[in-house]
Amino acid sequence: MTANNPLLVFDLDGTLADTADDLVATLNAIMANEGAPPVANAEARNMVGLGARKLIQLGFGAAGRTVSPERLEELFAEYLDIYEANIAVHTKLYPGVLASLDRFAGAGYRFAVCTNKSERPALKLMNALGVSNRFRAICGQDTFAWCKPDARALRATIEKAGGDPAHAIMIGDSKTDIETAKNAGLPVIAVDFGYTDIPVRELGPDRVISHFDELWGAVAELRPRA
């Protein structure tokens, strides 16, 4: 790959893969261990895109409880252990992902992941889904000294993938992803089926898609700017 090869940088949860059921199940295992009531799946789905620590805080907040910073770190470690042991029980790639990657790869595109999931579970999940070898870089919240929406996390991901920001496009599902791309000066495509309590069309992405079959056309429209 040369730096001139176009690079598509994907978020993971809510963009490439529907991970909510496994993430919420992990949260509720933690809640049960702490004697707190479970959080309904429908209520928690929009929380999962904010990262595990925030998910834990929101889950306990919904139960009328607060968690100290020290206890939060302990619960976060427990969360990762439980989640990684059950990382792809219900999780699946969204429809059209594999066909879309095949089409773009055939046209010379390369791929990376920039997620606020920790790197270790991100890699483990991508392996479990059988797609890790398709991506030049899989970067998580703890890969660099910065994480989304800091533009440096996205730029560092592009660099690790051997790409060039001038030939890269971000694809995500949330305010965080859209802000990250804008902060980095990259075009951004939002999927409207992910995890956000604000409709993505209201967040100002360059394009919105409702299925991966639409990604080719959206990228083609933005490519001259990339």
Kindly list the catalytic residues: 11
Amino acid, res. 151? A
How far apart, in whole angstroms, are the C-alpha atoms of residue 203 and residue 176? 10
∠ CA(202), CA(16), CA(43), 5° rounding?
A: 60
**3-state secondary structure at position 113:** strand
Q: Which of 40, 45, 29 is nearest to 194 (CA)?
A: 45
* Rg, Å, the chain Cα set: 17
- In sequence order, the 6+-apart residues with CB closer than 8 A to the CB of 157 are 9, 112, 113, 114, 137, 139, 143
How far apart, in whole angstroms, are the C-alpha atoms of residue 200 and residue 208? 8
Q: Which of 136, 138, 72, 150 is nearest to 104 (CA)?
A: 136
Residue 98 DSSP label: H
Q: What is the dihedral of CA 105, 15, 23, 195, to 10 degrees?
A: 180
**3-state secondary structure at position 52:** helix
